[in-house]
A and B are shown apart, each in its own frame.
Chain A
Amino acid sequence: QQKVQQSPESLSVPEGGMASFNCTSSDRNFQYFWWYRQHSGEGPKALMSIFSDGDKKEGRFTAHLNKASLHVSLHIRDSQPSDSALYFCAATGDSNYQLIWGSGTKLIIKP
């Protein structure tokens, strides 16, 4: 059973709109969470990390973590065509700090 589940699988948002992604883990040992973004033909690139409960904002991107419910989300405001990509949630917490990856959400920004 996958330990990190992402939703939705795909998402279409008009340019200038808000895109929201969700990630739920099934392992209470997870303490560290990341969001990675992958443009077509490229490798994933880290967007944000969040390690504490609450919100973390970086520019147009806001991550929210609730460790009690094992839920992390990512919100992109004022979405741009360049935000069209595959978004991954990743988590870790074991002694080796090996990342466990979600299956990704494909975001399409409509002009």
Chain B
Amino acid sequence: EAAVTQSPRNKVAVTGGKVTLSCNQTNNHNNMYWYRQDTGHGLRLIHYSYGAGSTEKGDIPDGYKASRPSQENFSLILELATPSQTSVYFCASGGGAQAETLYFGSGTRLTVL
């Protein structure tokens, strides 16, 4: 089965600090996504990518940057973390023009103090 690995699993950061969340997929999928999940909001799309070197804004991109240096890796960067960014973050690969299934990682629980 398709594999998506996220790191770290848990992260505690201070307000104003820089946070980088990493995601690696071995599925050779072109598309990758970053979501955040909060109670009552379901999954909200932050950034996505169509391939190496590409990043696109999702529905809630403010305060986040993304980087796709290779087909396998997709990072989410919080330059100046704020407590409102405390959440669970999920990376996924798949989807695209063939309406394919998304495969998710296990998530990163981020707490910003």
Contacts and interface: CB of A to CB of B under 8 A. Distances in A.
Contacts of B48: 98
B19 to A, nearest CB: 19
Interface stretch (A52-60, A62-70, A72-80, A99-107): A99-107
Interface of A: 32, 34, 36, 41-46, 49, 51, 88, 92, 97-99, 101-104
A99 B102 CA distance: 9
Contacts of A32: 99
Contacts of A103: 40-42
B104 A98 contact: no
Nearest to A47: B101
Nearest 5 pairs between A and B by C-beta?
A: A43-B104, A103-B42, A46-B101, A101-B43, A32-B99
Contacts of B103: 46
20 contacts: A32-B99, A34-B101, A36-B102, A41-B106, A42-B106, A42-B107, A43-B104, A43-B107, A44-B43, A44-B90, A45-B104, A46-B103, A88-B43, A92-B99, A97-B95, A97-B97, A98-B48, A98-B95, A102-B42, A103-B41
Contacts of B104: 43-45
B67 to A, nearest CB: 20
A36 B101 CA distance: 10
A97 B96 contact: yes
B51 interface: no
B112 interface: no
Given A41-B107, A46-B103, A98-B48, 8 more contacts: A34-B101, A43-B90, A43-B92, A43-B106, A44-B43, A44-B102, A97-B96, A98-B45
Contacts of B101: 34, 46, 49
A104 B40 CA distance: 8
A99 B105 CA distance: 17
Given A46-B102, A98-B48, A88 B42 contact: yes
The winner among A49, A51, A99, A103 for most chain B CB atoms within 10 A is A99
A101 B107 contact: no
Contact of A101 (B42, B99, B106): B42
